Chain A
Amino acid sequence: MTVATGMKKTTLLGLLALVIRRDLVLAMRRRADVLTTLIFFVMVVSLFPLGVGPEMDMLRKMAAGVLWVAALLSSMLSLGRLFSADYLDGTLEQMMLAPQSLSMLVLGKMTAHWMVSGLPLVLMAPVLGLQFDMPVQALGVLIIGLLLGTPILSMVGAIGAALTLGLRGGGVLLSLLVLPLCIPVLIFGTGAVEAVSTGLSAVSHLSLLGALLVLALVFTPWVTAQALRISME
Chain B
Amino acid sequence: MAINWFKYSAPTTFYGLAGKLIPWFAISSAILFVVGLYIGFAVAPADYQQGEFYRIIFIHVPSSILSMFLYLVMAGYAALGLIFNTRLSAMMATAIAPTGALFAFISLWTGALWGKPMWGAWWVWDARLTSELILLFLYLGFIALHASIDDPRRADRASALLAIVGSVNVPIIYFSVKWWNTLHQGSTIKFSGTSMHVAMQQAMFITLAACWLYAIAVVLARVRSIILERERNTTWITELPEVRS
- The answer, yes or no, to whether B144 is at the interface (CB within 8 Å) is yes
- The answer, yes or no, to whether B145 is at the interface (CB within 8 Å) is yes
Residue-wise, chain A 211-233 has the 8 Å CB interface mask toward B (1 for contact) of 01000000100010011001101
State whether A231 and B148 are in contact (beta carbons under 8 Å apart), knowing that A184-B172, A184-B173 are contacts in the complex: no
> When the two chains form their complex, are residues B140 and A183 in contact, meaning their CB atoms are under 8 A apart?
no
Residue-wise, chain B 139-161 has the 8 Å CB interface mask toward A (1 for contact) of 01100110011000010011001
Instruction: Give how many A-B residue pairs fall within 8 Å (CB-CB).
Output: 65
How extensive is the interface on chain B, given as a class? 20 to 34
Q: How far is the CA of A226 from the CA of B141 in the complex (A)?
A: 19
Q: Which of B116-142 contact A (CB under 8 A)?
A: 134, 137-138, 140-141
- The answer, yes or no, to whether A6 is at the interface (CB within 8 Å) is no
A interface, over-half SS: helix
- The answer, yes or no, to whether B111 is at the interface (CB within 8 Å) is no
Q: Which of B160-191 contact A (CB under 8 A)?
A: 161-162, 165-166, 168-169, 172-173, 176-177, 179-180
- The answer, yes or no, to whether A136 is at the interface (CB within 8 Å) is no
> When the two chains form their complex, are residues B176 and A183 in contact, meaning their CB atoms are under 8 A apart?
yes
> When the two chains form their complex, are residues B180 and A230 in contact, meaning their CB atoms are under 8 A apart?
no
Q: Which residues of A contact B172 (CB under 8 A)?
A: 184, 212
Q: How far is the CA of A177 from the CA of B137 in the complex (A)?
A: 8
Q: Which residues of A contact B148 (CB under 8 A)?
A: 164, 167-169, 173
- The answer, yes or no, to whether A16 is at the interface (CB within 8 Å) is no
Q: Which residues of A contact B168 (CB under 8 A)?
A: 219
- The answer, yes or no, to whether A181 is at the interface (CB within 8 Å) is yes
Q: Measuring CB to CB, which residues of chain B are less than 8 angstroms from any residue of chain A?
A: 134, 137-138, 140-141, 144-145, 148-149, 154, 157-158, 161-162, 165-166, 168-169, 172-173, 176-177, 179-180
Q: Measuring CB to CB, which residues of chain A are less than 8 angstroms from any residue of chain B?
A: 159, 163-164, 167-169, 173, 176-177, 179-181, 183-184, 187-188, 191, 208, 212, 219, 223, 226-227, 230-231, 233
